[in-house]
Chains A and B, each alone.
Chain A
Amino acid sequence: MTTKSSSNGSQNKISTFVLAAVYLVIILAVASIIWGASSYYQKTATLETAATLMAIGFIAMALAGYILFQSRKRVAKLKIEQQPILTQIECKSCNDKVTREFKRGDYVFKDGEKCPKCSSLGMITAIYREVKEKEKPVNV
């Protein structure tokens, strides 16, 4: 079994309403920036007014981008992750321990597994998954 994930396509969609609102905000933000810049260069507005318009535009764009990013992150989270499962075989004659991917029918203390080194019979002594620790160490 390898690392894989599954997700449901129909639930991965971001709401159309949210998308439409985000795109509208982006359009308005771009318009605000252009308006601010053009009115400053054409001397139809003061520097403060132009700067305010452009600031509103940039803030709105940043907010829209953030909402879009968050929605995509939420979609990406809708996955069931599966980690690889390992079977450890201990050889009875050479006492060597080897691990391989889990196969259906494996269980701890199952006899008759072939040792890949000396081809004599071995036994499954452990079945486990290795977790890469995401948690930060606790210092308190």
Chain B
Amino acid sequence: MNVLANLASLATNQIGLGSGDLIVQILSLASYLFIFVFIFYGQRLQMYIMIREVEGSLYKLKLMRDEGRKTAIETIKEIGKPATDPSVRVDRYLEYFTIAPQSMDPAGIVYKLDHILDVRDTRMKDEVKLMAPASDEVQVNNLENTLEAAMALNFIYKVVRHYYLQGKKTLSLYTIMQLQMILPMVMKEAEAYASALKAFAYGQPIGDGAGPLIAAKLMHGFEVRKVPKDCVVATVPFEGRTALVMKAEGPGGNVGKPGDAVKTLIEENKGKITAVIMIDAGLKLEGEAVGEIAEGIGAAIGGPGVDQFKIEEAIMADHIPLYAVIIKEDIGDAVSMMRKEISDAADKAIERIKSVVQERTKEGDQIIIVGVGNSIGVGQ
């Protein structure tokens, strides 16, 4: 009895129940209820908040995916003048996938991957030609790039939706937490692809075209010839040296195969090439300015690695030094319309190339300058 009396007294005096008016009692009860709810359901509440955040981003991704599909269909109808509605073919295109070769025995995998990518490229181009029969070669390339951007948005949306639904279904805090943590980066990339849609549809230069823009500035006014595959080269007198300036053929959306092109040029000029200089858009770190120029050693080229491998293999035969000049930009700038800072950086990059050539080669030498990237909206 004594214990009960003590508890009642505690409830009355210390906790607040039983004393004062009704409002104070309700407030005391509510505060205890809150404490218990947060102790036992705090993690679940946190998960629901995260789910809401992911859901918001998923809506935005869905909007971007739909916008991509709509832009692709509208552009195909406008340029390609198809006899039938291309929507079904576009939907099928958006679901295409590529299976990378088996790497258990890695010997020869680069050429297997190269072959698979070639087949993919041919298949995609044929599909675009069927969808848009009235389009010319440049427009086919631009349409292919537009569809690729729509495809990327579709893929991002589906993967995020997959993890969102899986997390919701299993109520796994860690699945949702991982998704929520990487979401800002995913959204940034998706937004870049969404803004790239119009660039590809209209044939505007993108940030990744910094390399081809610089090469085009160097080769403009000189005779240009084609080199395999989908690349162009011009012989340009440059600082007392002879430069073979190369880029993907523009102004259609095309990255070409610089690996094959460099190999061809080295074989054509056996033993004469004294340096290879590669210019490309490079990813900047946060805090670095867009359009900043940096210089280094090695093959400045992205993608699946096939072209980098081929270039490295080609220069190894004669031990040709390989220099790189990059124009810094973030992933968003690389796939969206070219920023003024990047366009303006072209002249500064040319000055840097000049100093590399003066310092690292002798007068009369023959060098290769490669502008790596997508040539969309950049002629020659």
Interfacial residues, chain A to chain B (CB-CB below 8 A): 1, 6-8, 11, 45-46, 49, 52-53, 74, 77-78, 80-83, 85, 102, 104-110, 126-131, 138, 140
Bound: A64/B4 CA distance, A: 42
State whether A130 touches B340 (Cβ < 8 A). Answer: yes
Q: A107-B379, A108-B213 are in contact. Are A126 and B203 (CB under 8 A)?
A: no
Chief secondary structure at chain B's binding surface: helix
State whether B59 touches A78 (Cβ < 8 A). Answer: yes
* Chain B, range 82-118, C-beta contacts under 8 Å to A: none
CB < 8 Å: which of A53, A81, A109, A129 contacts B220?
A: A109
Q: Interface segment, B38-46, B61-69, B166-174, B265-273? A: B61-69
Q: Beyond A80-B67, A108-B205: 20 further Cβ-contacts under 8 Å?
A: A11-B59, A11-B62, A46-B21, A49-B21, A49-B23, A49-B24, A52-B24, A53-B23, A74-B56, A78-B59, A80-B195, A82-B195, A82-B198, A104-B202, A106-B203, A127-B205, A127-B338, A128-B342, A128-B343, A138-B287
Q: Which B residues lie within 8 Å of A109 (CB)?
A: 216, 220, 378-380
The smallest C-beta distance from B361 to any residue of chain A, in angstroms, reads: 27
State whether B378 touches A104 (Cβ < 8 A). Answer: no
State whether B342 touches A108 (Cβ < 8 A). Answer: no
State whether B198 touches A107 (Cβ < 8 A). Answer: no
Interfacial residues, chain B to chain A (CB-CB below 8 A): 21, 23-24, 27, 56, 59-60, 62-64, 66-67, 191, 194-195, 198, 202-205, 213, 216, 220, 250-251, 287, 337-343, 377-380
A-B contacts, 6 of them at CB < 8 A, read A85-B204, A102-B202, A102-B204, A107-B377, A127-B377, A131-B339
State whether B377 touches A11 (Cβ < 8 A). Answer: no
State whether B379 touches A80 (Cβ < 8 A). Answer: no
Bound: A107/B270 CA distance, A: 35
The smallest C-beta distance from B34 to any residue of chain A, in angstroms, reads: 14
Chain A residue, CB-CB nearest to B22: A49
State whether B27 touches A108 (Cβ < 8 A). Answer: no
User: Which interface residue of A6, A49, A77, A80 has the most chain B CB atoms within 10 A?
Assistant: A80
Q: Which B residues lie within 8 Å of A105 (CB)?
A: 203
Chain A residue, CB-CB nearest to B377: A107
Bound: A83/B337 CA distance, A: 9
State whether B378 touches A107 (Cβ < 8 A). Answer: yes
State whether B338 touches A128 (Cβ < 8 A). Answer: yes
Bound: A135/B238 CA distance, A: 39
State whether A129 touches B339 (Cβ < 8 A). Answer: yes
